[in-house]
Structures are given as C-alpha cells and as structure tokens.
Structure 1
C-alpha cells in the first residue's frame, strides 16, 4: 500500500475503510449507479457511525484526528476501491473542512466542524464552479455585496456535489466583480437560507452516488461572522484546498484502478481461450503488467505529494503532477480491464465498465488534465 512505513493507527484506519468498502460499499455500487440521481444517504449514515465521515477532522473538534494528507490518501484509496462515487461521497465532508481549517477562526471551526462528527453527521458542500467558470476559479462572477451586518450573495453555481442534500456550504463569491483572485472571499452558509434554491439533479456519466445540482443565490444574506478569513482571502483558501483535494482525488482514482486491475487479473487467471488461461497469452500478460506498473508508479507520486504537503512545503506543481498521473492511469487501467474481459467487459453484468465511466470524472474535477499540465508548467 505504501513505500513508507505505517503507524498502528494508520493501519487501523486502512483496515476499517477496506472492511467497510468490502462489506457495505462494493455490494451497493451497481445498484446506486443504476438509480442514477439518488444519494445513498443510508450508506453515508453507516459510514458516520463507524467514524469514516469525520476521520479527517481534528480531534479537538470531535473528529478522528487524521489531518495529514498522507493518511487521508490511504483511506480514500480503500473506500474508492469499493466504489469511486460512494467512496468519494462518504469522505466529502473533508473537502468542506479544508477551507474552514485554512481560514476559519477557532470559534468558526468549533461551530461548523463540530457538528460534522459522530453518528448523524450531516452532509456538506463546496460551492465554487459556475456555468462560466470551472478550472479558472478566479473568473467566478457570483457577487457578495456588503450590507449592514454582512453580505448579500447573488449568482449561480453549477455541478455542486451534495447540493440540496447538504446542511452546510462554503460559498466562494467576489466582493468586487472587476477584480480576479484578489476579490474572492469565502462564506459559510446553512441550508434553508432565504433566497437559496437548487436546480434539478444533473444527469452524469458516472459517480452517480454523488448528486450534483445548480445552486442559485438571490440576495442571500450572510452575517459578517460567517465570512472565512478577511475579504479577498478566499482564493488562497481555495488554492490550498485544491492542492490537498487534487492529491486525495489521485488516491480515489488509484482505488478504482486497483479494483479494475484485480478484477481483470482474476478474470485472466480463470478464463480460458484456446485451451489455456488467457493470462498465458502474451498480449494479455503484457497489458496486465502495464496496468500494475502504472498503478504502483502513480501511487508513489501521490504519496510523495501527500507527504510533501504534510511537511509544510509548497507542492502546487507536485499536487498537479500527482492528480494528472493518477487519474490518467485510472483511465488507462479501467479501459484495459474492459479490454481484458472482452465483450463481457462492455456489459453491465461486470463492474469494470462502470469503473471506467466513474474515473473519467477524476480527470475533470478540481482542474482538468489540461489545466494540470498548465499548473505543472508554471511551477517548473
């Protein structure tokens, strides 16, 4: 699992996540995929009961205390080995927590992270992407107008995971639309706020366990004490979140890749063609060798990026390298698994075609592969 030795606590969280993935997540993957736009809230609740939804939140706020990126990567890989969409869903509160931890006051952290711990924890959401602003987060147009006691937020977000199901949101908006990153601020918002509404669930190729919707803000009032950091600090918090989330999403992609490789390897050992197991055919054996090699190489890069972040060293370029390599590896491996199974791989009777659809998202979210190459080139 790792080139670095693991502590007893790290081994325990890995074992917990793998057991949950095997017993609860993997058996539900196909059902949730075919349901299309239904969030498996009961699985999220089960994960909360055993501490999986809050293991990344500091102990002082009631969480599991695994705040290092490296351990989060270990856990994410195991959960997404079970199913990429469900695995990402049960860890999604970590993405909400990152900007709160980076920018929030001690009181904000207690008030907004404390309720996310323990059984019955609610879902959360990070509202960044807009219809006209995806990877270029500095171009968002949602506005935060200063008024007495706080702000009025107006605008629209798109592709927001858990929107409508979440209780808490971190919303990124501009206090001055004429500026770019220097005007981006972050705000904490609770579901039910007047002027907050949602679009219909968006129909997706894969990772259907996470329902995405558009979010509309019609002069939604946010008290000043619910701004994270100073005005204009939101972009810093977002970039800090991206560095972490890109590495963790790399591990999510590796979990799916590992699942597909293991499935293809088992199939190749048991399926015969021309009187011998197909793994004895050179083309199949070489394909499996490529799959295994790419997974191990990508994992080394992801874990190196995670440990670099944990050391407090700037790792924007390295995080982009990790996400690019891991997500493109997952696409290669899942497609190779489909090829190994032949026509059966293209059938919904086997899970590899679903995993192939699921991992395509990882090459898009938190910055497309093209954007990752741009980030890398700017950090050489």
Structure 2
C-alpha cells in the first residue's frame, strides 16, 4: 500500500491511501462547494445550510463514529486531515464540523447508553441533524466548574433552568448536550450532562451573535425555563457531567488545533501565490528577501504546528494519554494561525485589507482559535499540570 511517512521522536505518521483519499476529498469539497460564496456567507453571517447538508452526505459530520451508528469509522488522523483542508477555505463550516464530530458525536459514543446512541447518535453521525455542546455560561467560561444552570431532580425527570452562552450551532442544532448543576453542595461533582431536544417547552433560543470571525456559523445564547428532561436523557451516572465535559473537550482541542492549522496553511498558500504574481520594483515580490523571510518563517511554523496536531491525533488513536499533546497542539497552532494570517495580510499589502483576497477573513477567523474550547491561558495551565504530574 502506498503511503507517505513522517517521523517524530519515534512516532510514525503513516498517511495511507485511505488517509490521502480523505484529504483529497476534503480538499475537493472545500474548493468546489465551500469557496464559491464564502465571502458572501461571511459578510451576511449566513448559515451554510446547503454546505452542511453536503458535509453530512460526504460523511464529514460523523467521521470517527462507528459504522454501527452510521458513522465513517475513521481514525482521528483522518479527521484532522479533513479539518485542515476545510478550514483553509471556510472556518465557519469547519467549526460546525468540529463541534458535531469532537464534542457531540464522540461524547455520545464514548459515554452514552445504547438507547441514546440508537436514538441520537445515528442521526448526528449521518448529518440528518447536527448537535451543540452547551457548557459556557455568562459566569462560567474558563471556570467551567461554576455552573449556574440547574437540573432539579424531580424523580422521573429533571427540571432544567438557566442560560448558556456562546453556543456554536445554537440555532441550527436539533440535539443539545447541556451541562447543569444538580447538587450544588457537591460542586463540580454534582454536574450532569443532559440531552435536550429542540422544541421542548421552555427551551428558548436567543439572538444570533454578531461576531468578528467565523461569522457564517451560528452562535447563540440558550435559555431554559422549567424544561422537563427525562432521566433517560442523562449521560452517565449521576454527577458525571463535569468529567464528561472535560474528557470531551480534550479531544475537541485536537479538532480546533486542526482548524487553526488549516487557517494558517490557507493564509500561507494565498500569500505564496500572491507573492509570485504581484510585481514591484521590476520583479515578483517573492524575489524580495523581506517577503521570502516572511514566507520561510510561515511555512516553518505551520509545519511545526502540523506535527503537534498529528502527534495528538496519533496518541488518541493509539489509546494513549493525549491530554498534554492536545493542549500543546491547540496552544501552538492557534498562535501560529493568528500570527500567520497577520503576516499574510502584510504580504498582500493594501489588497490584504480587501475581502476579495480572503486573507482578512482568515485573520478574523484565526482569533477565535485562541479562545474557544479553552483559551490559550487555560491550555498553558493544562500543560503545566500535566508536566508536573
């Protein structure tokens, strides 16, 4: 079987024919289905409904889910390869894909009951519906233990009350994984994760946020007022919700790291192409050392980020501890994405400030990768904790 191989500290990243096929399929989809209209969707903050439908049909919304539940049964490396290619073109679509794969589908498959998997996971993995992961609150962002949303135990059901903020897929999802406090006295050990369906009485979706970047993805606040959630919709044992959220986010960081990598790589590719076409002082600007140095540093940092992302993915696939590796990949890749996109705008000069050339959008999209699914500061805390264990 043909393969491409990278080695890092004894770890092999074997890109099999299947890996390369996934990468090519994602690249073709991004170029042919996402690139047309991406500027308009960003400008108008228009949810990519048709593109998301196509992602579902192509298997990009349940890549790592077992075929038993309608998924692709692929490994994490396949997932990050696809995330990178899609993120090069449209980070709004890639964050929709990331949340559905990393946070919702993975969490349900890893910790959900068989009944929950049959009822919800099969629909999510096929792209029939998409999901949302609801942890953040007005006073619970980086401090995820400070949950004010409550789930009062009423016997056969929980009575859910509270507000969630910054929820990706907040308006377009059909299935929501909601963290809520059942026993305040137990603090984070009293948190549960409940599966909530759109349309339940008392469940209200707030206005769509007007964001700096990833504007085509829909981000909403969610309000719950005496929402009755059946006991069978609790994931895991009573009090398992916080562990569920943290475990799921560890894997989610790999997806966001891959998104950041894709944004950086997309900006670099645009800058390289532009530098070879744009002429100044009688020659292509690539021939000027100042531009060469920028591009050389960009490609070097992007390759370093890629190796970190691949390492985290491979550790996860091998069933090894990947917490530190995922945090390192997200921390570094998100910083590279922010830096590389600013440099890409600089290479383009005045054209870089114009929407037509795409790099200003990538620069705006890059910033969120340093914030969501754990800020860069939180990643440093995670890494520090892991290296002193």
TM-score for the superposition, normalised by structure 1: 0.96
1:344-363 aligned at under 5 Å gives the runs 344-363=351-370
Residues 1:162 and 2:169 aligned together: yes
Which of 190, 193, 210 is residue 197 of structure 2 equivalent to? 190
- Aligned partner of 1:300 in structure 2 is 307
1:197-216 aligned at under 5 Å gives the runs 197-216=204-223
Which of 135, 143, 166 is residue 150 of structure 2 equivalent to? 143
Which of 119, 123, 127 is residue 111 of structure 1 equivalent to? 119
Deviation at 1:76, TM superposition (A): 0.7
Deviation at 1:117, TM superposition (A): 4.0
Encode CA deviations 1:57-79: one digit per residue, 9 max, x unaligned: 2111111111x322211111111
Deviation at 1:40, TM superposition (A): 1.4
Q: Is the 8 A contact 2:98 2:252 kept in 1?
A: no
Q: Is the 8 A contact 1:99 1:237 kept in 2?
A: yes
- Aligned partner of 1:19 in structure 2 is 28
Q: Which runs of 5+ in 2 are unaligned?
A: 7-12
1:273-312 aligned at under 5 Å gives the runs 273-312=280-319
- Aligned partner of 2:322 in structure 1 is 315
**Alignment partners' CA distance in 1, 2:205 and 2:321:** 36
Residues 1:81 and 2:74 aligned together: no
Encode CA deviations 1:134-189: one digit per residue, 9 max, x unaligned: 12211111111000202111110001111122111111111112333211211111
Residues 1:52 and 2:60 aligned together: yes
**Alignment partners' CA distance in 2, 1:297 and 1:2:** 15
**Alignment partners' CA distance in 2, 1:147 and 1:225:** 13
**Alignment partners' CA distance in 2, 1:55 and 1:247:** 14
TM-score for the superposition, normalised by structure 2: 0.94
Residues 1:178 and 2:185 aligned together: yes
**Alignment partners' CA distance in 2, 1:297 and 1:151:** 47
Q: Is the 8 A contact 1:69 1:244 kept in 2?
A: no
Q: Is the 8 A contact 2:315 2:322 kept in 1?
A: yes
**Alignment partners' CA distance in 2, 1:263 and 1:285:** 14
What is the DSSP-based 3-state SS (H/G/I as helix, E as strand, rest coil) of the residue aligned with 1:371?
helix
Residues 1:8 and 2:21 aligned together: no
> Which shows bigger deviation, 292-301 or 74-83?
74-83
Deviation at 1:49, TM superposition (A): 2.0
Deviation at 1:91, TM superposition (A): 4.3
Encode CA deviations 1:322-346: one digit per residue, 9 max, x unaligned: 1000010011110000000111111
What is the DSSP-based 3-state SS (H/G/I as helix, E as strand, rest coil) of the residue aligned with 1:166?
coil
What is the DSSP-based 3-state SS (H/G/I as helix, E as strand, rest coil) of the residue aligned with 2:275?
helix
- Aligned partner of 2:9 in structure 1 is none
**Alignment partners' CA distance in 1, 2:52 and 2:86:** 12
**Alignment partners' CA distance in 1, 2:239 and 2:106:** 17
Q: Is the 8 A contact 2:168 2:217 kept in 1?
A: yes
1:7–1:340 Cα change, 3 Å: same
Which of 20, 27, 37 is residue 28 of structure 1 equivalent to? 37
Encode CA deviations 1:238-275: one digit per residue, 9 max, x unaligned: 11111111011101111111111010011111111111
> Which shows bigger deviation, 54-63 or 146-155?
54-63
1:33–1:262 Cα change, 3 Å: same
What is the DSSP-based 3-state SS (H/G/I as helix, E as strand, rest coil) of the residue aligned with 1:151?
strand
**Alignment partners' CA distance in 2, 1:218 and 1:312:** 40
Encode CA deviations 1:344-377: one digit per residue, 9 max, x unaligned: 1112221000000001011100011111111111
Q: Is the 8 A contact 1:305 1:319 kept in 2?
A: yes
Deviation at 1:2, TM superposition (A): 6.7
Question: What do you get for the CA RMSD once the two structures are aligned?
Answer: 1.4
1:271–1:293 Cα change, 3 Å: same
Q: Is the 8 A contact 2:162 2:225 kept in 1?
A: yes
Q: Is the 8 A contact 1:2 1:300 kept in 2?
A: no
Q: Is the 8 A contact 1:53 1:92 kept in 2?
A: no
Q: Is the 8 A contact 2:62 2:105 kept in 1?
A: no
What is the DSSP-based 3-state SS (H/G/I as helix, E as strand, rest coil) of the residue aligned with 1:180?
helix
